[in-house]
Chains A and B, each alone.
Chain A
């Protein structure tokens, strides 16, 4: 079974530039998550989708971050404009359902460096 795919794996940009990350979840998984992991910390949820609807985006900095999941499959996360503090690993995860007893499967992440 193919896992969660993410691209690119690495990205280096200047501050105030824009960047986009792509995620392809495991086939059939209705729930998709984006997490931000700053060096030395645990991942923090940015946004959760159930199919193509947003379930939780309370931690998403909406003035600069946006995310979409068109057709309820792939998802993109965009940062515009980027700040130095956005340097982090962005992890995508998926699960069959967004329930507490259901395992989440994580992708390898995209490491973003903002200079």
Chain B
């Protein structure tokens, strides 16, 4: 399975945008890029996913590099509730794959008031 590299931690101020980077230089053509986050004492929750094009939803935006070797999760206005561990995960959509999530260490985002 292709791996991702994320910074261990990042800080942000409340109500400012946050850009969380992820490198995935060995990504294959059949890999989706998924982002999940885990708030303290909770299970992970889905944030967003994409394949080639940038994606937007009510929670965040996902910017994918043209060569797909990196991506950035964008939180447009961070709130205290966004303090969490953010995981960037590649999921292979090729036939025969189960689509399982393989979590790395993630990025711990701290949001300061």
Contact = CB atoms under 8 A, between A and B. Distances in A.
Interface residues of B, number: 26
Interface in A86-109: 91, 93, 95, 97-109
B43 A91 contact: yes
A58 B36 CA distance: 23
Given A42-B106, A93-B43, A99-B93, A104 B98 contact: no
The main secondary structure of chain B at its interface with chain A is loop
Give the interface residue-count category, chain A: 20 to 34
A8 to B, nearest CB: 15
Given A104-B46, A106-B45, A33 B104 contact: no
Given A100-B92, A104-B46, A56 B100 contact: yes
B5 to A, nearest CB: 13
B7 interface: no
B49 interface: yes
A109 B43 contact: yes
Contact of B49 (A45, A48, A98, A101): A101
Interface of B: 30-32, 36, 41-46, 49, 85, 87, 91-93, 97-106
Given A55-B98, A106-B45, 5 more contacts: A33-B100, A56-B100, A93-B43, A100-B93, A106-B44
